[in-house]
A and B are shown apart, each in its own frame.
Chain A
Amino acid sequence: MSNLLVARSDVGEFRKRYKWMALFATLAFLVVAGRLFQLQVLDGTEYSAVAHENIIRRVVLPTTRGVVRDANGKVLASSRPSYDVEVIPGRVMPSARPVRYRNGQPVARDPDSWPRLADILRLNPEERRTFEARIHAACASDDDKSPCWKTPVLVREDVPRDIVAELKQHTDELGGVDIVGVPMRFYPYKELGAHMLGYVAEIDAQTLARYRPPGYDEMARDEQQRVNPLGYEGGDTVGATGIEHAWESYLRGQRGWEKRVVDARGRYRTGPEAERLVDAPGKLDPIPGRDLRLSVDVELEQAIDKAMRPHAAGAVVAVDVRTGRLLALYSKPSFDPNDLSGGEGRARVREAFNRLYADPLRPMLDKTMSGAFQPGSTMKPFSALAALEDHMVDPEHTEKCEGFVVFGHRVMRCSHVHGPVRLQQAIARSCNVYFWHLAETVGMDRIAKVALAFGLGQKTGLGINPEAPGRIPTRSWYSLRYRGNFRIGFTLNMAIGEGDVTVTPLQLAMAYAALGNGGTLYQPQVVRAVETSDGAVVQEFPPRIRRQVELHPENLKRVTDALFDVVNDPNGTAYSARDPSLDVAGKTGTAQTGYVAKKDDEPKLAWFLTQNHAWFAALAPARAPEVALAVLVEHGGSGPEIAVPVAMQIVREYERLQSIHLGHAPSAKSPPPAKTGKPAGGRP
């Protein structure tokens, strides 16, 4: 032993140390206790919230978009279930992720479920490669915010039901595969009325940015509600055009949510133990979108489609003369909104858009209101009214039509040599010479005043698609345009609806409806009522008068008599094409388009585009009009020959439908008794 002075049992060396050791140990445990105080008492609430967040997931409860029905309850737009297959890259193909280590040892990864999925979906080798490349790209890194976990990859849209069943059967082997039920908009009548109904599409970035401005996620819930009352999110389906777009806020409905308990592996837990952990409120029921009841009759639309079958392009508007409610809005050529609403995948949508926008007949244009055309002779009743109202013309005065007239050094030709004609005959026979003389006397601005009073050249405010205003030119408009070089020719052209005059078929139909009802210009309406999903009426829209046109009844009668003669006088322009069984009045029009063929035009198309527009604006029945029609056959040629037969066929079908519906569904006359506030009871 090195030190024999000290006994082995002498513990003196240690004696001074014990209290320091005790102090050190006590301090160490006090630090731990202090940390526990911090975590559990000071920050306890915060950590509890995090722990709660860990296990509570807010699951969105989808809403259903409202159904659009026609006047007789036929469904025009509804939603059908559709299933998309999405995969979480990191879970469907764990082998694509970088290897993770735990305690220095690679962590075992689950087997890939991707090959099984690819088999069930019957993906071809090229598709497989494409998706595999995307998954690998997404999983280049696998940290928390990597697309490997956060961004599902859409593999198939609108998967057939038998494959859905197969996928559900093999859920256990298909980790990371989600079958997402998406309500898909469905338009059973396809092209028919497509412009009016519109279509739905995924919300675009700009619109979304308006509803979700930067910093939206940090806003308080009230503020979010204010900025984005309908709760738009990326990837949402919204109405893109037509009624779907204009009535979006009614149709959309409000999403709900439900708090569900999940474990760390993302599995839902149920039972009383789990429910105990859900804090109130645990659920917000979704509000289904409102249904719309239109004034349009889809059977009338079908009849119009049939009548327009021989013609390539055109538009028809039918309006109830007594209410301004639209009975039909028809634009040709049309498109199938099912293609554009993503029914069969995004590729299909792209392909459809490319096809539609390449078509020279402009199928995407709603010609009833977004297209403006020269009205031709359908303008004449308004020129006549301008003359009569201001006593500029004696209606009994005759003008001799020699088939042409010379103004200055220009020769302008009439359609026939009409001989001596009075005002009424000039309308019935559509004598341009008479109206040129009339225009000379009356002047441009008087005619414009009456035309504008009847709503021509102005937006009607229907609001379902962008409206073309059209144009009723005035002297001041010309002086701006031609720097004061006003020519009498402008006035002459205007009186017969040529030159710079343009109107939309909707405007013309509304104006003729006003002629038919004694001068009341209605606001056109297409939605009759808003209903809940169980059929109770929430809101009804009574007819709205835009203005009462001040007219002397005897002047109006002269004009409407002339419209009667157009069809029913043997010299009337529509006489030969009339249907003797029908009681129709109206005015034909053959409008020059002023199209000048360009060099690189396809010859056939160029020929087509130089053809006149064929018009017929009709009222039926002639003596007590119910319906006003504006029929436009684009580049169809002669109004009497082309447009009149179409209108006759439509009127015939209208009468037939009226006689059928009159018995049990007085839809066009008086609305069914309102049931506001009574959700129960169903449909009458």
Chain B
Amino acid sequence: MRLRSADPGVLARVREHFDWSLFIVVAALAVVGVINLYSATSVARGSHADDYIQQIYWLVGGGILATLVAAIDYRHYERLGYALYGAGVILLLLVFILGREIRGSSRWIYIGSYSFQPSEFMKLFLVIALAKYLHDDPKAEGRTLRDLLAPALITAVPTALVMLQPDLGTGLILVLVFVSICALTNVQTRSVVALGIAGAVLAPVFWSYGLRGYQNERIQAWLNPNENILGYNWDPHQARIAVGNGGWFGQGFMKGSQNQFLFLHEQHSDFPFPVYSEEWGFVGSIALVALYAFLVLWCVRVASSAKDRFGAVLAVGVGSIVFWHAVFNLGMVTGLLPVVGVTLPLFSYGGSSVMTVLIGVGLVMNVSMRRYYASPTRPTPLLGGL
């Protein structure tokens, strides 16, 4: 197959179809995220002090990957959908063999001095697999429970593996991604009701038997926010104080006392928002929330204009990943939700997390850029389809 990249028209078309809104909002989040990471880790000596530089590397690497992902016509991913999914599941299995235990769970695979978290990438593979399934299973009438069985299984396998690590947060996100994608389809009302009842019955069972000791503790801590402040409630308590201390306009960059005087922990991973919120106040926080909201709504918009079912599910899936991460993380640091280890996209430090988000954005960009042409029967290579 001949590459048509030499065609001067292609670059012009890329420029024409490029989704600047998506790019700008993601770039803004990444830049603010790095600045905030700099402040958040400025008090950490040793291991985390240079995290923000590493984060820039991840962002650059993720950006390159996203560009590549966006360049190749997304219908190639549709063809490879189940293969990618299978690869993701195998990686998750490898975690149990190769992974080392860190703080009670094995989530990482080590390659040389680098490590990565297959469960992060699994979110994308799950989206692709579900998109592939729904793409191949168009329906005019409402979907029944039986119709949802296959996608449910597709979700259940990686979810179970992730829960075994154990990584409650990611498992939860996988389930919620599945629910979000289901919400896109036309499920029969009575199926929804049946699922709701099943959920209501299973929830207490899960509550009693499915949660580990520390997870129960965290929920107890969340229900009693003023108790055990030196224990499980330390992080959410101090995070809430930091957020509140921001006031209208914040304490100023690098001047948040909660962070500077070491009251916040995990400020590079799960709790970067309190650092930001304390420094930039309500005004800055609302601006950040608006950026996330815009990104999510934009994904929905891209989905609504996608030219095929695969593209639409892809955009909604990536949007839901960002949405649930952002809402859970913000909810957790403001005390609306119990502490579950869910990162804040592009704010939390971590290569796997950053790359997952950026590749996801690349996918959305891909869908967005290729929305103008009628679907040809065969996908085109690289910049094709523009």
Contacts and interface: CB of A to CB of B under 8 A. Distances in A.
Interface stretch (B15-23, B53-61, B120-128, B295-303): B295-303
Given A32-B331, A101-B213, A21 B247 contact: no
Interface stretch (A10-18, A131-139, A404-412, A441-449): A10-18
B185 to A, nearest CB: 6
Chain B CB within 10 A, most for which of A22, A31, A261? A22
Interface string B223-260: 00000111100000010111111111000000001101
A103 B310 CA distance: 38
Contacts of A666: none
A420 interface: no
**A8, A36, A44, A104, most chain B CB atoms within 10 A:** A36
Interface in B250-298: 257-258, 260-263, 277-278, 281-282, 285-286, 289-290, 292-293, 296-297
Contact of A14 (B231, B241, B247, B312): B312
Contact of A143 (B213, B230, B263, B277): B230
B150 to A, nearest CB: 11
A104 B213 contact: yes
Nearest to B303: A18
Nearest to B244: A47
Nearest to A4: B138
Interface string A219-263: 000000000000000000000000000000000000000000111
Nearest to A13: B186
A619 to B, nearest CB: 73
Interface string A142-186: 011000000000000000000000000000000000000000000
A561 B213 CA distance: 99
A105 interface: yes
A578 to B, nearest CB: 80
B140 interface: yes
B115 interface: no
Contacts of A264: 238, 261-263
Nearest to A144: B230
Given A17-B183, A54-B261, A143-B230, A47 B245 contact: yes
B309 A36 contact: no
B343 interface: no
B261 A269 contact: yes
A56 to B, nearest CB: 10
Contacts of A36: 243, 277, 282, 285-286, 289, 334
B140 A44 contact: no
B4 interface: no
Contacts of B296: 25, 29
Contact of B262 (A28, A45, A263): A263
A40 B263 contact: no
Interface in B301-323: 301, 303-304, 306-310, 312-313, 316, 319, 323
A448 B112 CA distance: 109
A212 B65 CA distance: 69
- By CB atoms of chain A within 10 A, which of B323, B334, B341 has the most? B334
A111 to B, nearest CB: 19
A15 B300 CA distance: 11
A33 B262 contact: no
**Which one of A32, A48, A54 has the highest number of Cβ atoms from chain B below 10 Å of its Cβ?**
A32
Contacts of B336: 31-32, 35
A102 B166 CA distance: 14
B45 interface: no
Contact of B316 (A21, A45, A100, A104): A21
A223 to B, nearest CB: 27
A270 B304 CA distance: 57
Interface in B163-214: 166, 180, 183-186, 212-214
B309 A14 contact: yes
Nearest to B322: A25
Contacts of A32: 289, 327, 330-331, 334, 336
Given A1-B136, A263-B262, A40 B247 contact: yes
A43 B242 CA distance: 12
Interface in A252-293: 261-265, 269, 273, 277
Nearest to B324: A28
A50 interface: yes
A526 B331 CA distance: 72
A95 to B, nearest CB: 18
B243 A47 contact: yes
A39 interface: yes
Nearest to B313: A14
A11 to B, nearest CB: 5
Contact of B136 (A8, A28, A101): A8
A10 B310 CA distance: 10
Contacts of A273: 260
A552 to B, nearest CB: 84
B137 A3 contact: yes
A24 to B, nearest CB: 8
A417 interface: no
Contacts of B293: 25-26, 29
A30 to B, nearest CB: 9
B105 interface: yes
B244 A39 contact: yes
Contacts of B300: 18, 21-22, 25
Contact of B282 (A13, A28, A41, A105): A41
A460 to B, nearest CB: 59
A37 interface: yes
B212 to A, nearest CB: 6
A232 B315 CA distance: 69
A263 B246 CA distance: 18
Contacts of A15: 304
A5 interface: yes
B11 to A, nearest CB: 27
The 8 closest A-B pairs by CB, nearest first: A47-B244, A6-B138, A105-B104, A51-B245, A104-B104, A263-B261, A40-B282, A9-B308
15 contacts: A8-B310, A17-B186, A18-B304, A25-B293, A25-B323, A32-B336, A36-B334, A44-B245, A44-B282, A46-B244, A50-B241, A55-B257, A101-B214, A104-B166, A104-B213
Given A11-B307, A39-B244, A269-B261, 11 more contacts: A6-B138, A11-B312, A13-B139, A14-B304, A39-B243, A41-B248, A41-B282, A43-B244, A261-B261, A263-B262, A265-B262
Interface of A: 1-3, 5-11, 13-18, 20-22, 25-26, 28-29, 31-33, 35-37, 39-41, 43-48, 50-52, 54-55, 100-105, 143-144, 261-265, 269, 273, 277
Interface of B: 103-105, 135-140, 166, 180, 183-186, 212-214, 217, 228-231, 238, 240-248, 257-258, 260-263, 277-278, 281-282, 285-286, 289-290, 292-293, 296-297, 300-301, 303-304, 306-310, 312-313, 316, 319, 323, 326-327, 330-331, 334-336, 341, 375
